[in-house]
Amino acid sequence: MEGIEKITAKIAQDAQAEIARLTAETGEKIKTIQAEAEAQARKEAAEIEAKGRAAADERLERLSSAAQMERRKLELGAKQEVLSEAFDLALEKLCTLPEQEYIALLTRLVLEASSTGREQLIFSQKDRNTVGKQVVIAANDALVKERSPSLPEEVAKSKVGAFVDKLVHNTTAIVTGTGMLTLAEETRDIKGGFIMVDGDVEINCAFDTLVRLQREQMEKKVADALFQS
């Protein structure tokens, strides 16, 4: 019996030793697995953080770019509004010139636009009633003076000279066919200026059209003057 007990005791002792060894190995493996898991977790956490930071930076950059574009858009809109106001003011000033200055300006424009001296002038209803005839007379007179001979000063100053001068002017107009501008019965819905008609051809000298055309040509210069830093 004693031999069996010794053998049993030896087996139990060896089993305990094996269990201890396996337990130790298992503990080491568990530690290794835990360490690797923790390292992997930290790595993945760092990657997620980096991706999140990159995504945040990218979104911030997009938002900043959008904000810059919106700022430029608002600035451009504000500048365009100021430019429009500047050209609107120019149009208003043209349309509200003192009467004699207004007539002189219209006369000069008629002379520049006329090619035959036989065109019709169409005004707004207001301008036709107030300055239309005066512009036609002044422009016709200027056109005829370009073609008619000048009388000596001492003759022109006399009553006879004035009559002769008028006769010369009228004759010149008939002979040359110029200085025969007429005031049209028709009127147009324009703020100022006139429409010159010669048959089927129309020359638009309305102030709003002239200002718009000038704006297309001068907008950059005006913008530089208004917004120079």
Together in a domain, 206 and 114: yes
Together in a domain, 192 and 84: no
Together in a domain, 67 and 81: yes
Percent of the chain topping pLDDT 90:
34
Query: What band does 229 get if pLDDT is binned at 50, 70 and 90?
Result: low
Together in a domain, 67 and 164: no
Together in a domain, 103 and 194: yes
**What's the pLDDT score for residue 11?**
59
The 10s digit of each residue's pLDDT in 97-147 is 999 999 999 999 999 999 999 999 999 999 999 999 999 999 999 998 876
**What's the pLDDT score for residue 2?**
55
**What's the pLDDT score for residue 13?**
67
Averaged pLDDT score across all residues of the chain: 77
Together in a domain, 9 and 59: yes
3-state secondary structure the chain: CHHHHHHHHHHHHHHHHHHHHHHHHHHHHHHHHHHHHHHHHHHHHHHHHHHHHHHHHHHHHHHHHHHHHHHHHHHHHHHHHHHHHHHHHHHHHHHCCCHHHHHHHHHHHHHHHCCCCCCEEEECHHHHHHHHHHHHHHHHHHHHHHHCCCCCHHHHCCHHHHHHHHHHHHHHHHHHCCCCCEEEEEECCCCCEEEEEECCEEEEEEHHHHHHHHHHHHHHHHHHHHHCC
CB 168 within 8 A of CB 149: yes
* Residues present in the chain in total: 229
Domain enclosing residue 158, as ranges:
98-227
Together in a domain, 115 and 200: yes
Sequence-separated (6 or more) residues with CB below 8 Å from residue 202: 195, 196
Together in a domain, 90 and 102: no
**Which has more pLDDT, 111 or 72?**
111
Together in a domain, 91 and 185: no
- What average pLDDT score do residues 15-22 get? 65
The 10s digit of each residue's pLDDT in 152-200 is 454 445 444 444 444 444 444 444 456 789 999 999 999 999 999 999 9
CB 196 within 8 A of CB 205: yes
How many domains is the chain built from?
A: 2
Together in a domain, 114 and 192: yes
Residue 220 belongs to domain with CATH number: 3.30.2320.30
CB 127 within 8 A of CB 189: no
**What's the pLDDT score for residue 189?**
95
